[in-house]
């Protein structure tokens, strides 16, 4: 469980300790700095998601750090300050801070605000680790499977006009590409939970056949949907997420 990396810049050793404990427990990777210099070092050397920033530091003003952060990386910035001063708040926020929290505060509020900032931060990095959530997949034969509109398009952008059942089947196969799925698995994954599967049920075979025909996957050696005799079916090849 690694929810992200947080840099805490704070010269009060007690608060620093409490923060560190709490956030580590919370599942974050925590870096600590007690002055501007060491903060800069961390910023240069580590990938940081959120910075907790105390403005009053022994060797300079934290405001400069905001500027540095905005120019050098996209980390979220939450200012922690002992002063409840509107002008200071406005200055920090205008300079690019994402939030401003007045001491003293409760840990769970801070944690919630970190989450809120991270949420927005993640929303702005759409391409990266998209695992199973992608809306569009490119199948090995070049067809595009678009979950958002229940459609499959061939390279020339004509639609394959799959039925809902056929689409679900293809979707399940693509999701477990390069793994064999038994008829029973396919049967249950393609319908809303409540259906009994009979071992002699040929329903899946028929759907497979119809699907193959529609996507032009008759048996030519690089076959997309392969039959594993006695076991089930498997969609094989490279799947790209778009």
Q: Which stretch binds DNA (CB under 7 A): 12-20, 72-80, 97-105, 209-217?
A: 209-217
215 Cβ contact partners less than 8 Å away, ≥ 6 residues apart: 141, 143, 152, 154, 160, 170, 224
The token duo for 217 is: 């996957």
236 interacts with a copy of itself by CB under 8 A: yes
Of the two residues 25 and 161, which places its CB atom closer to DNA in the complex? 161
The position carrying tokens 């899946």 is 204
Given 14, 45, 71, 86, the residue binding a copy of itself (CB under 8 A): 86
Query: What track of x and - describes contact with a copy of itself for positions 105 through 144 (by CB under 8 A)?
Result: -x-xx-xxx-xxx-xxx-xx-xx-----------------
The token duo for 226 is: 């392969």
220 interacts with DNA by CB under 7 A: no
Query: What track of x and - describes contact with a copy of itself for positions 32 through 71 (by CB under 8 A)?
Result: ----------------------------------------
Cβ of residue 227: shortest distance to DNA, in angstroms?
A: 4
Of residues 174-203, those binding a copy of itself (CB under 8 A): 178-180
104 interacts with a copy of itself by CB under 8 A: no
3-state secondary structure 42-62: HHHHCCCCEEEEECEECCEEH
Of the candidates 102, 43, 47, 104, the one whose C-alpha atom is nearest the C-alpha of residue 78 is 102
Q: Cα torsion for 63, 110, 5, 122, to the nearest 10°?
A: -90
Of the two residues 34 and 166, which places its CB atom closer to a copy of itself in the complex? 166
Kind of pairing between the strands at 29-33 and 5-9:
parallel
Q: How far out from the chain centre does Cα 132 lie? A: 9
Binding region for a copy of itself (CB under 8 A): 74, 86, 89-90, 93-94, 96-99, 106, 108-109, 111-113, 115-117, 119-121, 123-124, 126-127, 148-150, 163-165, 178-180, 228-231, 234, 236
């Amino acid at each position: 469980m690694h929810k992200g990396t947080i840099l805490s810049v704070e010269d009060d050793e007690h608060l620093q300790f409490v923060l560190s404990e709490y956030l580590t427990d919370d599942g974050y990777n925590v870096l600590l700095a007690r002055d501007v210099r060491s903060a800069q070092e961390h910023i240069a050397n580590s990938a940081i998601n959120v910075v907790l920033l105390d403005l009053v530091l022994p060797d300079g003003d934290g405001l400069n750090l905001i500027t540095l952060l905005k120019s050098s990386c996209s980390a979220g910035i939450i200012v922690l300050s002992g002063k409840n001063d509107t002008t200071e708040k406005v200055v920090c926020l205008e300079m690019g801070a994402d939030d401003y929290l007045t001491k003293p505060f409760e840990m769970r509020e801070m944690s919630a605000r970190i989450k809120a900032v991270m949420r927005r931060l993640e929303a702005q990095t759409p391409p990266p680790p998209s695992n199973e959530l992608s809306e569009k997949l490119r199948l090995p034969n070049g067809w595009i499977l678009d979950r958002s509109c229940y459609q499959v398009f061939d390279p020339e952008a004509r639609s394959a006009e799959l039925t809902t059942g056929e689409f679900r089947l293809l979707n399940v196969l693509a999701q477990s590409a390069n793994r064999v799925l038994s008829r029973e698995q396919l049967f249950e994954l393609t319908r809303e939970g409540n259906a009994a599967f009979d071992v002699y049920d040929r329903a899946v075979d028929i759907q497979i056949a119809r699907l193959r025909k529609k996507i032009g996957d008759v048996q030519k050696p690089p076959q997309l949907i392969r039959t594993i005799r006695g076991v089930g079916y498997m969609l094989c090849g490279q799947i790209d997420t778009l």
